[in-house]
Structure 1
Amino acid sequence: MKKITILILALVVFQSCKEKPKKEESATISANFSTLLDSYYEDGLKLNPITATLAGDHRYDDVFTNALSDEFEEKAKTHFESYKNKLAAFSDENLTESEQMSKAILDWECDINLNEFNFNADLTPIDQMWSTNLFMGQLASGSSAQPFATVEDYEKWMKRVDGYLKWMSSAKEKMREGMTKGHVLPKSLIKKVLPQLQSLTTKDLDKHLFYQPIKKLPEGFTEDEKTALTEAYQNMVSNKVIPAYQKLYDFMKHEYSNVGRESSGIQGEPNGDAYYAHQIKKYTTTNMTASEIHKLGLSEVARIRSKMEEIKNQVGFEGDLKAFFDFVRSNKELMPYTDPQQVINNFNAIHDRMKPQIEKLFDVKPKTPFEVRRTEAFRENSASAEYNPGSLDGTRPGIFYTPIPEVTKYNVYSDESLFLHEAIPGHHYQISLTQESDVLPKFRKTLWYSGYGEGWALYSESLGTELGLYTDPYQLFGMLGAEMHRAVRLVVDTGLHSKGWTREEAIQYSLDNEAESEASITSEIERYMANPGQALSYKIGQLKIIELREKAKNALGDNFDIRQFHNQILETGCVPLALLEDKITNWIKENS
């Protein structure tokens, strides 16, 4: 017995000795992996310095990288290829579960970005909704992420503008190259870009967007500083910005307009089908085909129409659903406002109504403050409601922008669902909680995958009843209308880009199936034309989250806690949907 005991003790000592270097090795691997992720994030900020500004990191506020240059393309390719190779050196078996997810996300991120270079998206760098010039206009206003608090801030912005003007020049050359290769915007989109550019050719500095920071000079600046900055900005706007916009406007109005394509979808461009397949994967983070998505969209449209019929009957409307759409669109009782501030006030009132119920669904809430603002005038006519994230440190609030181009025609019927989507608990919760996480690596705090992000926001709309909203049948109809809007997107986006639909056919299909105004629908269809595939992400992501909630609820029964489910969805930040499904599946197993 003594020999056996001694042998066992020897084995225990031997095993413990073996485990110690393994733990040390594991710690080293983990540290090296963490360093890799941090390096990827830091190198990414240098590659795209405006990402740093948006995150509240002001080291690169004076830098604007010309993403249309050959130099940038080579740097970007090298960036993603090198990190993909470095990532391959780490075996999954040596990583924690969280590290494995980070590895899978980074691998996916490198692949999708590298694949983008196989197409010619850079030959159509300007459109009416998504392009860099519109975003730079927001920064130029002095009320967005670019800081204007110190003299140095003002000087940094002037340097950034110099880089941006080089991008504008490159954009014109890229579009000219696109003219020779069959990559041009549809004519209907060019018409929408022209007034946006023209508005920034005004010589009235007081009205010029890029001059607005001078009208907001901090009181603490000395008179000499104010004078110097005023003169510098007058020179910048008059002698640099206005001429650059005038040249681009003249080019697009005269040369480019003449060659704008008649086709509405990306099929009208060379290699359009392959590019659309890439866009579907990029935005939905799935391997679904255009045909599968189109079929799903038709099915969802039919399902939601039946729910809408119930609301129509509830309010006692006599007539078919299309007539009810027209009634809702034109109902003056749903257009009660005369002052844009009333629209803002209504959104704040919606927030107040739901506050008492939020604890029932969420036990973790963001610290980042939140505001509702009107969309800036220069882009308001072509803009949709949107959320702009706060800074990583929470010092800049998250902002829900809502366009109010004609306040007397502003229809309130979908405001509750819109607030849930863009604000709380939609994008504001999802993005702010990600940014505030003390667990996620930095690179995951600024990632954006539409399938997850927009899917969560659309899922949030379905929580209205649980949050004390949708007590009015028209607001409930608004929620169904918003969901129908996303279902219609599955049909019209794939129709435009894979089935040869025209802009007019897509507009008519939307008018037949949703209650949005024709002007709003036209703007939406042109949005899909400008960025193929993006509109698919909402419904695909929403359906996946609903599926996972039902799966967890059925498996866990009485142990299912909706707050814990929401924590599981939100704590990982933006991830491809397949990885989210794996996570929830593992969580269910651990709690069954």
Structure 2
Amino acid sequence: MTTATTPGTAGDPSSTPAATREPTAIDAVANAYVQTMARLQPLFATEVGIKGHDHELPDLSPAGHGARADATRAALRDVEAAAAAAPLDDVDRVTVAAMRERLGLDLEKHEAGDDLSDLNVIASPLQALRDVLDLMPTGTIEDWENVGARLNGLPGAMAGYVETLRAGIASGNVPAVRQVREGIDQARELAGDESFFTALVHGKEADAVLDESAACSLVRRDLELGATAAREAYATLADFLESELAPVARAEDAVGRERYARDSRYFLGAAVDLEETYRWGLEELARVVAEQEAVAREIAGPDATVADAVETLDADPARIVRGTDALRAWMQETSDAAVEALNGTQFDIPEALRTLECRIAPTQTGGIYYTPPSDDLSRPGRMWWSVPPGVTEFGTWREKTTVYHEGVPGHHLQFGQAAAQRGVLNDWRRLGCWVSGHGEGWALYAERLMEHLGYLDDPGDRLGMLDGQRMRAARVVFDLGVHLGLPAPAEWGGGTWDADKAWTFLKSNVNMPEGFIRFEYNRYLGWPGQAPSYKIGQRLWEEARDASKSAAEARGEEFDLKRFHSRALALGSVPLSVLTDELARQA
């Protein structure tokens, strides 16, 4: 049975829990674009669970980038034509606005040549070609055949990537030498005989599926050849980076105003006043530090510093778990408890999404991240912890807020609420649109929400939350300061921000092992605009909530926070400019 939504409630599960709508011409364009992108960018297909592409790799050459740009340009034309041909309902209005912003900016970045210098320490083809293997199904022989096909296809994909970076050299559009050097180290590690690829094809997951039959023997042989091909592909990349790209790479880390403004819009889905945001970042950092210092005195006495409180918490055996098995179990227990407590009280969580798998990642970079469920929910949402080598003890006081950030009410709830709108939102809205400022901003908003709901009343857990908030505020200052060459406060050296001043600043504001801080430092320098999108996104989410609350109070109504969250999350991931416009319309 189809239930039509009424104006003003489209995509609002609090008003129409089982709402569906007849697909429109706009939906048809959006759905077709997702299928095109799945074909042209198979890594995306695997990430979101679109079947039929797990054996494929993208064309990373200039021609491949051109083909994707042509498809984006055609989709944008089709959106405009469909929007002009018929009235738009509430859902279509949001889709059109979001696609105009996202697809238009994708083309802007392509035409500016951003593809040609796509190399950094965390989110470039160097990492993506390996990381996608973590998301691939491995439960059947066919699954392992797909793994083998991808491994054996890596030399071709890597050749295309190198061709694009060579085109960047020819045009003078090159990454910073710091990113190239880090890329060389990462590629050399993946090229080693005992690299991830070797472990993958000889691991327990493969052994659990591939028996001693003739058919499985052929698959095992293909996997062995694939692991060798993958290692050789990364060795080729490392040689190219070292011999060709490093000698001509950009000496300066800063990307400058033009590139930074474009990247900031890309990660936020909104244009912000960069100088005002930088000043706000300094103010927000000072505010969080003052809050943190007050909590530190609760923990370790009236004269205690933050460092004293950290020492006290780290010495408390009740706040330490030892070993990755215990860490995973603690993550799972904490996540499960949050889901049980919040479901039906603060949020309505679909039954299929009340399970979040907590896993230890096969990598060792130090990051903690979330991967969403596949569209058909056959692959669950997962929280991953990439534990650095030699790290065996983990302070739970630091990380309870991280579980809320990655799980519920953070990313897992965010993706889950959008997935629950399958009958309302088209494929692009549910699967194809990811905006960092929206998603990561919500996750930081979720951390503060859990504090306000009483789940971080323990001073240690609250200090851990503030520790993360401080780091995210510092990133606003760091990122805008360095990449735009803004004035540095006297306490951080005065003059103009540069990488050396930023290192001292970061070490003073991030309470983590130096190896982790170094990775983050290199990440911010090589991925402009992304790191600040968390805290700026949180700011825009909070402003949208406060505006909705003010509108309700002006009407003499009590503000319904649960309903606000339902309406907002039901929109799916959209540019923050679209989010704020739509929530203002609904307020």
State the TM-score, normalizing by the size of structure 1: 0.85
Aligned residue for 1:348? 332
Letter in 2 for 1:560: F
The 8 Å contact of residues 127 and 530 in structure 1, kept in 2 or not, is answered as: yes
The 8 Å contact of residues 413 and 478 in structure 1, kept in 2 or not, is answered as: yes
The 8 Å contact of residues 55 and 391 in structure 1, kept in 2 or not, is answered as: yes
Residues in 2 aligned to 1:309 and 1:214: alpha-carbon distance in whole angstroms: 47
Q: After alignment, is 37-46 or 420-429 more displaced?
A: 37-46
Aligned residue for 2:561? 562
Aligned residue for 1:216? 206
Aligned residue for 1:552? 548
Aligned residue for 1:524? 520
Q: After alignment, is 536-545 or 443-452 more displaced?
A: 536-545
Structure 2 counterparts to residues 317-356 of structure 1, below 5 A: 317=301, 321=305, 323-324=307-308, 327=311, 336-356=320-340
Letter in 2 for 1:174: T
Aligned residue for 1:360? 345
Structure 2 counterparts to residues 345-424 of structure 1, below 5 A: 345-358=329-342, 359-365=344-350, 367-368=352-353, 369-377=355-363, 380-381=364-365, 383-405=366-388, 406-408=390-392, 410-424=394-408
Aligned residue for 1:10? none
The 8 Å contact of residues 299 and 309 in structure 2, kept in 1 or not, is answered as: no
Residues in 1 aligned to 2:336 and 2:136: alpha-carbon distance in whole angstroms: 30
The 8 Å contact of residues 349 and 413 in structure 2, kept in 1 or not, is answered as: no
The 8 Å contact of residues 405 and 444 in structure 2, kept in 1 or not, is answered as: yes
* Structure 1 residue 398, shift from structure 2 partner: 0.8
Residues in 1 aligned to 2:111 and 2:313: alpha-carbon distance in whole angstroms: 43
The 8 Å contact of residues 364 and 567 in structure 1, kept in 2 or not, is answered as: no
The 8 Å contact of residues 205 and 234 in structure 1, kept in 2 or not, is answered as: no
Q: Tell me how large the CA RMSD over aligned residues is.
A: 2.9
Aligned residue for 2:79? 87
* Structure 1 residue 441, shift from structure 2 partner: 0.5
The 8 Å contact of residues 338 and 407 in structure 1, kept in 2 or not, is answered as: no
1:223/1:410 CA distance change after superposition, 3 Å: same
Residues in 1 aligned to 2:456 and 2:252: alpha-carbon distance in whole angstroms: 40
Is 1:490 aligned to 2:476, yes or no?
A: yes
Residues in 1 aligned to 2:318 and 2:523: alpha-carbon distance in whole angstroms: 26
Structure 2 counterparts to residues 187-206 of structure 1, below 5 A: 187-203=177-193
1:579/1:308 CA distance change after superposition, 3 Å: same
Residues in 2 aligned to 1:255 and 1:329: alpha-carbon distance in whole angstroms: 49
The 8 Å contact of residues 328 and 359 in structure 2, kept in 1 or not, is answered as: yes
* Structure 1 residue 114, shift from structure 2 partner: 0.6
1:522/1:334 CA distance change after superposition, 3 Å: farther
Is 1:509 aligned to 2:505, yes or no?
A: yes
The 8 Å contact of residues 511 and 521 in structure 1, kept in 2 or not, is answered as: yes
Is 1:231 aligned to 2:221, yes or no?
A: yes
Residues in 2 aligned to 1:366 and 1:284: alpha-carbon distance in whole angstroms: 31
Greater share of helix:
1
Q: Per-residue CA shift, 1:6-43, capped at 9, x if unaligned?
A: xxxxxxxxxxxxxxxxxxxxxxx974333222222222
Q: Per-residue CA shift, 1:219-255, capped at 9, x if unaligned?
A: 47661112111222222323x2222222222333444
* Structure 1 residue 473, shift from structure 2 partner: 0.9
The 8 Å contact of residues 417 and 461 in structure 1, kept in 2 or not, is answered as: yes
Structure 2 counterparts to residues 528-547 of structure 1, below 5 A: 528-547=524-543
Residues in 1 aligned to 2:582 and 2:518: alpha-carbon distance in whole angstroms: 39
Structure 2 counterparts to residues 571-590 of structure 1, below 5 A: 571-588=570-587
The 8 Å contact of residues 270 and 577 in structure 2, kept in 1 or not, is answered as: yes
Q: After alignment, is 442-451 or 82-91 more displaced?
A: 82-91
Residues in 2 aligned to 1:76 and 1:219: alpha-carbon distance in whole angstroms: 36
| Higher gyration radius (CA) | 1
Equivalenced residue count is 548
What is the aligned-residue identity percentage? Answer: 24
Structure 2: state its 5+ residue gaps: 1-21, 486-495
1:42 is aligned, of 22, 35, 40, to 35
Residues in 2 aligned to 1:409 and 1:220: alpha-carbon distance in whole angstroms: 35
Residues in 1 aligned to 2:526 and 2:425: alpha-carbon distance in whole angstroms: 33
Is 1:480 aligned to 2:470, yes or no?
A: no
Structure 1: state its 5+ residue gaps: 1-28, 268-272
Is 1:109 aligned to 2:102, yes or no?
A: yes
The 8 Å contact of residues 98 and 575 in structure 2, kept in 1 or not, is answered as: yes
Residues in 2 aligned to 1:328 and 1:179: alpha-carbon distance in whole angstroms: 52
3-state SS of paired residue (1:532): coil
* Structure 1 residue 529, shift from structure 2 partner: 1.4
1:494/1:234 CA distance change after superposition, 3 Å: same
Letter in 2 for 1:113: D
Aligned residue for 2:115? 122
Is 1:311 aligned to 2:311, yes or no?
A: no
